[in-house]
Amino acid sequence: MLKFHIQPDSEIPASTQLYDQLWFAIASRQFPPGYRLPSTRQLAMQTGLHRNTVSKVYRQLEDAGVVEAQPGSGIYVRAQSTVESSRPWLGLWDQFPKARELVENSLDELLRQGASLNQARELFFAEIDWRLRCSARVLVTVPKQDLGAGELMVRELEAALHIPVQLVPLEDLDVVLSQARSGTVVTSRYFLAEAEAVAGPKSVRVIPVDIYDYGRELELLKELPNGTCLGMVSLSSGILRAAEVIAYSLRGDGIVLMTAQAEDAYKLNAVVRGSQQIVVFDQASLPAVKQAIATVREDLIRPPQLIVCDNYIGAKSINLLKRELGLED
């Protein structure tokens, strides 16, 4: 079982620290769907928190749709669907009485021109796929308080899918979807329940993505010598907050942490000057970190070692999204 640790002198409330650690374990699939979470008693003993506090955190996760309580059994990670939230029943032949005749006549004409049935199917599919791709609208949604995470998702999805992706704050999603006829909403599994509550009634599908598990980086963190000053940089304030909680849970006071968002020049400068190693959580932040190091290079005895993470979105989620959107190579 993962070890959870609460930093008593942290500015972050103890319940938030536990919530972030549980969320990370679920979002990175260390606690996969169907996994039974530790009992409130077990978690209270491990963290030193009161059982009522642990129960409150579990209720928050349940309200967010991340876990579900099974009476008499325990708290389990909720199994999420990765297909359309709602798919309307279609009686197309009844709805379009002349459609069958049009399809049959078009097919007969292709056969008269010498096309085989397989070739005719390929021609129809090619035209349909092209139109679907042209009309595809992919929206990434996250709360306004952490648009940095959404920016990361947009950059990575556009690079992987080769189509435009729009970032929409979760608070504005209802208005945006009311103005759109179709689309696919992509979000972190962490915000899935909230996104489905908005998109489901509009028959817009929501596809959750899993974040990178940071396994390599966590192992490096465990091996750092005591007293190491570790910097952390990302576009996302949420990533930095979770990373800080998890780092303390693994190392306690054994290391000194400094964090900065990539666009915060003042804090980034402090991180570069004070850190021996810097974890760069996303490729988008790397140019800013390198520029900050170059700017103060003459003042540094030794420049910090950079540890650059892989993509924020897990590779399996990218491949799933390609299949769902019909964008496989």
Segment 42-77, tens digit of pLDDT: 999 999 999 999 999 999 999 888 899 998 889 999
Chain center to CA of 115: 45
pLDDT at 81: 53
Q: What is the mean pLDDT of residues 181-191?
A: 83
Report the C-alpha gap between 57 and 18 in whole angstroms. 7
CA angle 262, 268, 272 (to 5 degrees): 125
The answer to whether residues 43 and 14 touch, using CB atoms and an 8 Å cutoff, is: no
Name which of 310, 274, 319 is nearest 293 in CA terms: 274
CB-based burial label for 246 (10 Å; 0-12, 13-18, 19+)? buried
Q: What is the mean pLDDT of the chain?
A: 86
Segment 273-297, tens digit of pLDDT: 999 999 999 888 999 999 999 999 9
| pLDDT band, very low/low/confident/very high, at 95 (cuts 50, 70, 90) | confident
Q: At 268, list the tokens.
A: 């980034």
